[in-house]
Amino acid sequence: MAEEKQLSLTLTNEQRDEARKILEHIATEIDRISGGDEDLAFRVRRYVDARLQLKNRGSVQQREKLRKQLFAKQKGLCALCGEPFTELAGLHVHRVGPGGYTEMNCQLVHEGCHEKHHLAQGEPLED
């Protein structure tokens, strides 16, 4: 539901229709590949989903560079609770609006703060 709401802010009706056609094609191909094996279909869908998410988030090097930039910009403090970070590992990058993972559109937050924020918004956790 929140995902559809965000898509409606970033895509035109025509673009959503084209995206749905892509999804229908992917679903048809997964059905063809799996040959009715629901376990295989599930694993192929997970694989495709993971690869699309990775493509959106950039390479490991790009993600680490963004984390370091945000850490410096926020002076080592969580953007949601204001408490200091004890280490860079395990922190989440939170997007503040529609769009990509950029320094202008992201904040560095504690994992727990990120989960609480999305749960309070009724949204799924993205990072």
Summarised one tens digit per residue, pLDDT across range 90-124 is 899 999 887 788 999 999 999 999 999 988 877 76
Q: What are phi and psi of 84, to 5 degrees?
A: -70, 155
Residue 38: CB atoms within 10 Å: 8
- Nearest residue to 117 via CA among 99, 94, 100, 97: 94
Using an 8 Å Cβ cutoff, are 79 and 109 in contact?
yes
Using an 8 Å Cβ cutoff, are 30 and 41 in contact?
yes
Task: Give pLDDT tens digits for 37-76.
Answer: 999 999 999 999 888 877 777 777 888 899 999 999 999 9
pLDDT band at 126 (very low <50, low <70, confident <90, very high): low
pLDDT band at 125 (very low <50, low <70, confident <90, very high): low
38 CA to centre of own chain: 26
Dist CA 10 CA 12 (whole Å): 7
**pTM, rounded to two decimals:** 0.59
Using an 8 Å Cβ cutoff, are 57 and 101 in contact?
yes
Burial state string for 7-27 with b = 16 or more CB within 10 A and e = fewer than 16: eeeeeeeeeeeeeeeeeeeee
Task: Give pLDDT tens digits for 6-38.
Answer: 444 577 899 999 999 999 999 999 999 999 999
The token pair at 55 is 């493509």
